[in-house]
Amino acid sequence: MVKDRVAIVTGAASGMGKAIAALLDREGAIVIATDKVMADGKGPLADNSPGVFVTLDVTRAEDWAEVAALAQARYGPPSILVNNAGILHFASLLETSPEQVRAIMDVNFMGAFLGIRTIAPFMVRERRGAIVNICSIDATKATNGVAAYASSKWALRGLTKAAAMELGPLGIRVNAVHPGGISTPMVRDGAMTDAEFDAIYHDIPLQRAGLSEEVAEAVLYLASERSSYCAGTEIVVDGGATVGTYYAQLPGYPDPR
């Protein structure tokens, strides 16, 4: 369902972006995998893939313009954009500096805004496009320690709704994915075992952390025509974390500890 579509994925050197780019590539899309880190080789893409891995800092409008020009010149107009790049900073609200808030907003919110602002016009000309913004369950509630991050993700969720309203009539569907706790370098100490990391999530219904590949499946659905009637919607991929609290200590309930 995404075969031969030109797809741009940000933050594709690691974690979910890497898994999303790889899945779209396997499904036959022509993927322009991007990241602010110096990109070389095929990155997350298969060796024989038609796509490329290039450097794009989402906060730099000139980088976006370069990637748009590359897409148009080499492959044709992009019709899928996945705004995935993000950063996280743990700090209490009272210890978060204005500079830290600006830095997080710049990547998590402005990066996606610049992406939409640059890439959507190509989609509008074709009357065809799907944009997927990777928000977070922190865009549906609040958690202590991530005030700046959560605010940036609520802003991105708002942008998703506004963009869906404005671009829907022009043939572009804009939707969001809200991952829960996913095993990536952003949140996982490299020294932790899988069991130790999963243990953090024992009080959610699925009792484990998620995998990047599980989030990528939701992105594939929203990027493809299988979701042709979805606009401004949100898919939560969180093992049930936002459903409620699972009390494993109640008698008769499975307790993985």
Ligand X SMILES: NC(=O)c1ccc[n+]([C@@H]2O[C@H](COP(=O)([O-])OP(=O)(O)OC[C@H]3O[C@@H](n4cnc5c(N)ncnc54)[C@H](O)[C@@H]3O)[C@@H](O)[C@H]2O)c1
Compute φ and ψ for 168, nearest 5 degrees: -55, -50
Query: Which stretch, 121-129, 168-176, 178-186, 197-205, contacts ligand X (CB under 6 A)?
Result: 178-186
Q: Which residue in the block uniquely carries the two structure tokens 């492959």? A: 75
Please state, in angstroms and rounded to a whole number, the distance separating the CA atoms of residues 84 and 62.
Answer: 19
Please state, in angstroms and rounded to a whole number, the distance separating the CA atoms of residues 106 and 79.
Answer: 24
Q: Is 149 a catalytic residue?
A: yes
Nearer residue to ligand X within complex by CB, 9 or 130: 9
Side-chain half-sphere CA neighbours of 49 within 13 A? 27
Amino acid symbol at 85: A
Contact between 23 and ligand X by CB under 6 A: the answer reads: no
Query: Which stretch, 35-43, 114-122, 167-175, 247-255, contacts ligand X (CB under 6 A)?
Result: 35-43
Contact 79, 59 (CB under 8 A): no
Q: How far is the CB of 47 from ligand X (least distance, A)?
A: 20
Nearer residue to ligand X within complex by CB, 30 or 176: 176
Count, in order, helices (H) and strands (E) of the chain. Answer: 7, 7
Determine which residue in the list 27, 57, 126, 234 makes contact with ligand X, applying CB under 6 A.
57
Nearer residue to ligand X within complex by CB, 5 or 178: 178
Contact between 39 and ligand X by CB under 6 A: the answer reads: no
Please state, in angstroms and rounded to a whole number, the distance separating the CA atoms of residues 83 and 89.
Answer: 19
Query: Which stretch, 1-9, 55-63, 119-127, 223-231, contacts ligand X (CB under 6 A)?
Result: 55-63
Q: How far is the CB of 251 from ligand X (least distance, A)?
A: 32
Please state, in angstroms and rounded to a whole number, the distance separating the CA atoms of residues 136 and 144.
Answer: 15
Q: Which residue in the block uniquely carries the two structure tokens 């080789």? A: 41
Contact between 107 and ligand X by CB under 6 A: the answer reads: yes
Query: Which stretch, 34-42, 124-132, 164-172, 200-208, contacts ligand X (CB under 6 A)?
Result: 34-42
H helix or E strand, kind and range, residue 38: none
Contact between 206 and ligand X by CB under 6 A: the answer reads: no
Please state, in angstroms and rounded to a whole number, the distance separating the CA atoms of residues 137 and 105.
Answer: 17
Q: Please give the residue ranges that form the binding site for ligand X (CB under 6 A).
A: 10-11, 13-17, 35-37, 56-59, 84-88, 107, 111, 134, 136, 179, 181-182, 184-187
Active centre residues (catalytic): 149
